[in-house]
Amino acid sequence: MLGGIERNAAMSYAQYRRVSADGAAVGKLVDIPDHLTYDKLLRNTIVSTSSVIIDRVLTGPFSMTETFYDDFALWLEILKRGFVAHGFKEDHVRYRVVSSSWSHNKLRSAKWVWRAYRNVERLSIPYAAWCFLNYAWRAILKYRSF
């Protein structure tokens, strides 16, 4: 059974490896925390969208918000309700790195995160800055090697 389902988790996410566009190069396994709360997710960049599983039976209904970083906004919405996301630590997910993808532009992604903090979550400037510094530091650590 999947780690999150075993734990009866509303949201689960998994470890992953980055893969080159042609599939030839495979990066190291990206380690993930055992769990993420709302506050921890605000300061983290570790979740890969393709690895997320959400249990609607536990969360109840939700819909994607039309915003700049809709996946992240949805995860925050779910975790803000008090749910905890659980990490599934097995090597099953590949994240293909394509230079033309929206997420490949890290500056644009960083702007989306900042906008999510300020416009969606309505965080104060000091708290948003603290979260963003943590987010940026973790992003640097995550992307320092393929």
pLDDT per residue rounded down to tens, the chain (146 residues):
444 445 678 999 999 988 888 888 788 888 899 999 999 999 998 898 889 999 999 999 998 878 778 899 999 999 999 999 999 998 889 888 777 665 667 788 889 899 999 999 999 999 999 999 999 998 888 776 65
pLDDT of residue 3: 45
Question: Residues near 19 by Cβ (< 8 Å), separated by ≥ 6?
Answer: 25, 26, 27, 94, 95, 96, 97
Instruction: Give me the residues paired with residue 121 across strands.
Output: none
* Residue 103 confidence (pLDDT): 60
Give the span between the Cα atoms of 53 and 13, in whole angstroms.
Answer: 6
Supply the pLDDT for residue 141. 83
In terms of Cα–Cα distance, which of 58, 15, 57, 59 is closest to 34?
A: 15
Write out pLDDT tens, residues 28-50.
888 899 999 999 999 998 898 88
- pTM for the model stands at 0.84
What pLDDT shows up at residue 2?
A: 47
